[in-house]
Amino acid sequence: MKLGKKKLIKNDVLVLEVDNAGILLSKKFYNKNDMNNLSFDEGITGINYQKKSFIYNFLSSLRQKIDDPLGKKRIKN
């Protein structure tokens, strides 16, 4: 037994298109009436993490210089 019916009053969507460099290419605003004409991409965004990024390498180098400022204890990998 249903006691009430929910009605969608507001459903606004902002679509931002960004390139590989992170620069905003376009922005589009859709309201509830425009939503019927949209098609959504079913693709999945992949994760691209590197084990040793630039920041990791920089902080490791900084830590080595703090631990051994003259480079006498440095062990080659």
pLDDT tens per residue, range 19-76: 888 889 999 888 877 777 767 778 887 776 666 777 888 888 888 888 887 777 656 5
Q: Are strands 24-30 and 13-18 parallel, antiparallel or unpaired?
A: antiparallel
* Predicted local distance difference test score (pLDDT) of residue 27: 93
* Predicted local distance difference test score (pLDDT) of residue 38: 66
* Predicted local distance difference test score (pLDDT) of residue 6: 74
Q: Against a cut of 0.85, is the pTM above it? A: no
Q: List, in sequence order, every residue forming a beta bridge with 29; answer none if it has no partner.
A: 14
